[in-house]
Amino acid sequence: MGCNNKIIERPNILFIMSDDHTSQAWGIYGGILQDYVKNDGIKRLEKAGVVLDNLYCTNAICVPSRASILTGQYSHINGVYNLPDALNPDSLNVAKILKNNGYQTSIVGKWHLKKEPSGFDYYKVLPGQGLYNDPYFKTKDNWEDGYKGGIQETGFSADIIGDSSIEWLKKIDGKKPFFLMTHFKATHEPFDYPERNKDLNKDVVFPEPNSLYEFDPKDSGRKHIGQIVENLTERWVNDTKNNLGRYPGLPFSINGLNKKEIRSKTYQKFIGDFIKSGAAIDDNIVKILDYLEKEKLIENTIIIYTSDQGYFLGEHGYMDKRWFYEESAKMPFVISYPKKLPKGRRVNDLILNIDIPSLFLDFARIDQPKSFQGLSFKENLITNTNSREYIYYRYWQHDVKRPAHLGIRSKNYKLIYNYGEGLDKSGTSKEKTIPNWEFYDLINDPGENQNNFENPIYKEIIEKLYEQLIIEKKKAKDYELEIPKIS
């Protein structure tokens, strides 16, 4: 039986999050793919609520981003720096606080933090990354730490996660507010999709980003290679050759193709699969919204849809995330709460993922603990309050192609220091890279296609950003690694 919260003043909170479902593939942020994505549920939320244009994660990789959203802390404070790290169940997280203040709490879907979820009345989560098809799920009845365990269910992961979320809602106490985290595995590589979406955009040739054929990073003034699109080419060809069955839409062949043609063919399959995978999320957003409407829960439920970080869809010739570039670090975000928030509004204030749990507590009228480093952005959603002039970012999981780096972004400019060493953190390479700087003018070069760090016309701006970077690093209580002077 559904719950009716008319007598409850505190809002329900439904926090829907996907994996890598980047803003370029949402269709509400513009861009070259906006006409090809299925986004009925996303558009419903956009029309009913507020869209954030400048929300950023503090460390653009799955495990750390999720830990920051739960704890309201940067990676160096909560101890989850890199992919191999686990969130300590004893850590204070937003679910525990809400639960202790009368909320019914649940997480369904991707968890990825290895240790048992704490603060939840109920959880049903994938072991590690989980499977797209016929996935296993772990609950309190069969929990074991790490990537193993669980009971297998038949179906596509997004559909099971959507259905399981609704099943939990049907069973809860209608007199108490709920906090539900519905977290999809999609659109993480291998970008799989249900059979019903296999013909989406059939025979379409997708438009290409201007920087797709950036083969030499030196052309843009970058010093690193990055995770290039051809990594997918290699995986698909290997899967085809060895019949591994890891990726959808195979076989894949590049026989007789030149370098540019290989990148182009890889890009077309990559985007086609990614959009089909994203469509499965949207199918389930629609399903959940329909249920909430039927049960008359929409008015008093905060509904959020976001992604744990962004993802490169061929920009700079890249795939994957990790970088402090816009496509990677920016999190798409839409929030609906008919009782309190305006409809059809866009907000371009600088906001961070560590602010999200602060927002939950603010709406629930619960004081934020001292351990949280974020700021509620409730007022930003309603008025033109700009609470942040700069954001601070740090990626720790160093390797030679994607060196560890940190940086600062203002509304108009970005400064990045690629310090290039693992600092003995988990999952990092021992091989160091030569430290270097990057600077981007986001007004004149929003695609970050030219590193202007050496350009003398930006000298004063860069010096000011450098000084502010030192300040923001200290404000974040990040004391590891001294940043060298730039002049």
Residue 487 has pLDDT above 70, yes or no: no
Cα→Cα distances 277→184, 257, 354, 423, Å: 11, 27, 27, 36
**pLDDT tens sequence across 44-76:** 999 999 999 999 999 999 999 999 999 999 999
Among 268, 299, 324, which residue terminates a domain? 268
- Is residue 74 within 8 A of residue 136, CB to CB? The reply is no
Among 237, 268, 299, which residue terminates a domain? 268
**pLDDT tens sequence across 160-203:** 999 999 999 999 999 999 999 999 999 999 999 999 999 999 99
Among 357, 391, 425, which residue terminates a domain? 391
The CA distance from 198 to 202, in Å, is 8
More confidently predicted of 447 and 387: 447
The reply to whether 485 falls in a domain is no
- Is residue 359 within 8 A of residue 368, CB to CB? The reply is no
pLDDT score for 5: 42
- Is residue 304 within 8 A of residue 64, CB to CB? The reply is no
* Mean predicted lDDT score pLDDT of the chain: 96
State the CB neighbour count (10 A cutoff) for residue 232. Answer: 22
Residues 120 and 58 both lie in one domain: yes
Residues 228 and 179 both lie in one domain: no
Q: Biggest alpha carbon distance in the chain?
A: 68
DSSP 3-state of 278: helix
pLDDT score for 7: 42
| pTM attached to this predicted model | 0.96
Residue 1 has pLDDT above 50, yes or no: no
Residues 212 and 170 both lie in one domain: no
Exposure string over 67-104, b if 16+ CB within 10 A, otherwise e: bbbbbbbbbbbbebbbeebbbbeebbbbbbbbbeeebb
The reply to whether 142 falls in a domain is yes
Residues 149 and 284 both lie in one domain: yes
Residues 447 and 328 both lie in one domain: no
State the CB neighbour count (10 A cutoff) for residue 304. Answer: 22
Residue 251 has pLDDT above 60, yes or no: yes
The reply to whether 366 falls in a domain is yes
Q: Taking Cα atoms as reference points, which of 397, 441, 440 lies closest to residue 419?
A: 397
Percentage of residues in the chain having pLDDT higher than 70: 98
Kindly report which listed range (108-122, 352-366, 374-388, 397-411) carries the lowest average pLDDT score.
374-388
The reply to whether 482 falls in a domain is no
DSSP 3-state of 394: strand
- What is the pLDDT averaged over residues 113-127? 97
- What is the pLDDT averaged over residues 142-151? 92
Strand-pairing partners, residue 178, are: 104
pLDDT tier at 437, thresholds 50, 70, 90: very high
As for how many domains the chain has, the answer is 3
Which CATH number does the domain housing residue 155 bear?
Answer: 3.40.720.10
How many residues make up the chain in this entry?
487
Q: 288: domain range? A: 12-194+271-391
Residues 16 and 42 both lie in one domain: yes
**pLDDT tens sequence across 362-387:** 999 999 999 999 999 999 999 877 77
Residues 309 and 229 both lie in one domain: no
The reply to whether 119 falls in a domain is yes
Which CATH number does the domain housing residue 412 bear?
Answer: 3.30.1120
The reply to whether 484 falls in a domain is no
Residues 445 and 399 both lie in one domain: yes
Residues 140 and 240 both lie in one domain: no
Residues 146 and 277 both lie in one domain: yes
Residues 120 and 253 both lie in one domain: no
- What is the pLDDT averaged over residues 34-39? 98
pLDDT tier at 21, thresholds 50, 70, 90: very high
The reply to whether 481 falls in a domain is no
The reply to whether 7 falls in a domain is no
Residues 48 and 158 both lie in one domain: yes
